[in-house]
């Protein structure tokens, strides 16, 4: 059953990522926590691992072919993202899981409200 859920979660997150231009983590982390019973930190670490190599390579190439990618801006953000991800991982690992889970929930609510009222 775990593999079936993992396959569905991966396909769903991939489709939504390509469709909406968002990182799949917003779907994968809650799926790992609530569907597969992962601890918040384990879900975040697993999500980072699975997103590193394929982080939207095929979706990126499709957008790039259509001229819908600003490479200079993307490169600067990607470089800074690496630094920020390292610092964020250090913070998350040192943080109490209860607080981290609440922080993630507040983030999701903020995203939802921003989208709703924009």
Q: Give the pLDDT confidence score for residue 22 in this predicted structure.
A: 74
The 10s digit of each residue's pLDDT in 18-71 is: 777 677 888 899 999 999 999 999 998 888 888 766 666 777 888 899 999 888
Q: Give the pLDDT confidence score for residue 48 in this predicted structure.
A: 80
Q: Give the pLDDT confidence score for residue 45 in this predicted structure.
A: 86
- Is the pLDDT at 113 greater than 90, yes or no? yes
Structural domain tally of the chain? 1
Range of 63's domain?
2-117
Q: Give the pLDDT confidence score for residue 109 in this predicted structure.
A: 94
Give me the DSSP letters along 20-46.
HT--THHHHHHHHHHTT---HHHHHHH
Q: Give the pLDDT confidence score for residue 53 in this predicted structure.
A: 63
In a 10 Å sphere around its CB, with 0-12 CB exposed, 13-18 middle and 19+ buried, how is residue 22 labelled? middle
The 10s digit of each residue's pLDDT in 59-97 is: 788 889 999 988 898 888 778 878 888 898 899 899 999
SS3 69: coil
């Amino acid at each position: 059953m775990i593999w079936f859920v993992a396959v569905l979660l991966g396909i769903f997150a991939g489709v939504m990522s390509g469709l909406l231009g968002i990182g799949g983590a917003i779907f994968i982390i809650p799926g790992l926590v609530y569907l597969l019973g992962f601890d918040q930190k384990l879900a975040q670490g697993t999500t980072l691992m699975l997103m590193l190599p394929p982080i939207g390579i095929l979706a990126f190439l499709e957008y790039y072919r259509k001229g819908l990618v600003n490479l200079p801006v993307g490169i600067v953000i990607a470089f800074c993202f690496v630094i920020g991800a390292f610092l964020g991982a250090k913070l998350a690992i040192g943080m109490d899981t209860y607080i981290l889970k609440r922080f993630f929930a507040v983030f999701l609510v903020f995203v939802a409200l921003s989208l709703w009222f924009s």
